[in-house]
Amino acid sequence: MATSLANTTVPFIARQSHRHIYNKPRLKYSFSARNSQYRSLITGRKPTSCKVLTKTNTNGYLAPANKVFELKNEEEKEEDDIIIEEEHKEHLANRWSEIHGGDDWEGMLDPMDSLLRSELIRYGEFAQACYDAFDHDSYSKYCGSCLYTPRNFFKSLGMTGFGYSVTRYLYATTHAPGLSNFFKKSKWGKVWSENSNWMGYVAVSNDETSKHLGRRDITIAWRGTVTKLEWVADLKDILRPIQPYNIPSPDPTVKVQAGFLGVYTDKDENCPYGQYSAREQIVTEIQRLTKMYSNENLSITVTGHSMGAALAILSAYDIAETGLNLLDDGRAIPVCVYSFSGPRVGNSRFKERLEVVGVKVLRVVNVHDVVPMAPGFLVNEHSALLIRKYMPLFIRKLIEWLPWSYSHVGEELALDHKHSPFLNDTWDPTDSHNLEVHLHLLDGYHGKNKTFELASKRDHALVNKASNFLKEEHLVPPNWRQDANKGMARNKEGRWIQPDRLKLGDHHHKKHGLNGDHH
């Protein structure tokens, strides 16, 4: 896709949708920052006036189209515009292993560790970027693809301050039943891909950011469901052994939900973007990057929301079980998953094997969200405790073999949207499931039974980006993020058309070493 198209089809309001900051105590007012929350701090000032939220100002907050935020004076602007928070960066560089789950986040969730909170929000925004960049409009001939090229991905979303570069896009196809609501298709007759969807990306931190992080970070971000939750109801509670899917495991009883396995391993040789499975794309890219940076301290961080959270856990397990995180000098690269509102993925054997190979998982959930309760509504890790306590051994063994016996993995951070004074009291399941809501709740969470207070003053308007969850008093319009003119543009003859995208993204398999022979 051409860069010029990104500049015409997506308005400025959509690009500055992630920004937030971390306050210094000496500041009285704080605005959202365009750059990464851990790298810079913007000194905020009181706005002179505000009418309607129609575009984004330079600080990242929604602001009126016909008004600007006036500064006290230009000298103050130059002096206080960007203040690098050196202390924060030094703490992150020294504590990254702990933040990455080295001690299973013991003592960090209650009370909430401020540095962990900031990193959870940061990786949550990597997952949110998958939604903001996804073309889900069925009237677009490029429906199901990414709106931006890999080179301009973070720039187009206003995320250049994060200090990462996309190294590969991920695509998937599936023949699994019950997932038709997950994959988006265009109404056009001739489309970019018949059976594939853009599923996310692999990115790596640049030199400067790696210095601040204390290591070179390889991040994998998976796309989840865009709007509806029908896929949860359609999801079949069928567990399949992973070995027949070419995912190595010494334990043949390790099983994963069939639909997730399908998305991760299916391919369509007749489709240019589906010739190689998502798994094959992940394997070759992780091999390439770990070899490229083998002389540095590395981490592999996988994130995703909704079904993307399930794929994050499955791919992280695959990386560790396959040994892709093992370097030639004997070092093991830490593998961590930050999961947001994810469903159960596999059985208890999968959970045990995940722990054996050393994958750390921190699951962020909203207690009112139904997705983390599925699949395995009846037989899960909670009922397993009662079964072990009261049932004889042969019944316990029988239940373990049931095709709908699931277990959550890792550690859980449970949030409650009813604790936020910004949100309506609603029973809409899509609101409870919304990723921006989870990031809002994270920012206000300080521990169990503690007052909800936004720690970084993250812009609460982001909650209504794709929902109507904020209270009316905040005067933020619902579902405010949208592409300008639905992607339509005038041609030389003055007619409104959908412009062609010159390039959807680099998917040359030979360049990435894909030969379909990965185990």
Catalytic site positions: 306, 369, 433
- Structure token pair of residue 7: 């500049």
Cβ-based neighbour number of residue 411 at 10 Å: 16
Residue 294 near residue 334 (C-beta atoms within 8 A): no
Residue 462 near residue 436 (C-beta atoms within 8 A): yes
Residue 102 near residue 437 (C-beta atoms within 8 A): no
Taking each continuous run of H as one helix and of E as one strand, the counts in the chain are 16, 13
Beta strand pairing status for 298-305 and 335-340? Answer: parallel
Give me the phi and psi of 146, to 5 degrees please.
Answer: -90, 140
Identify the CA nearest to 216 among candidates 288, 301, 155.
301
Residue 147 near residue 6 (C-beta atoms within 8 A): yes
Annotate 391-448 with DSSP letters as a single string.
Answer: S-HHHHHHHHTSTT--B--SEEEEE-GGG-TTB-----HHHHH-HHHHHHHHHH--ST
Identify the CA nearest to 507 among candidates 159, 179, 149, 163.
149
Rounded CA separation 58/225 (Å): 30
**The dihedral of CA 377, 351, 442, 39: what is its sign?**
negative
Rounded CA separation 413/436 (Å): 16
- Structure token pair of residue 114: 């401020």
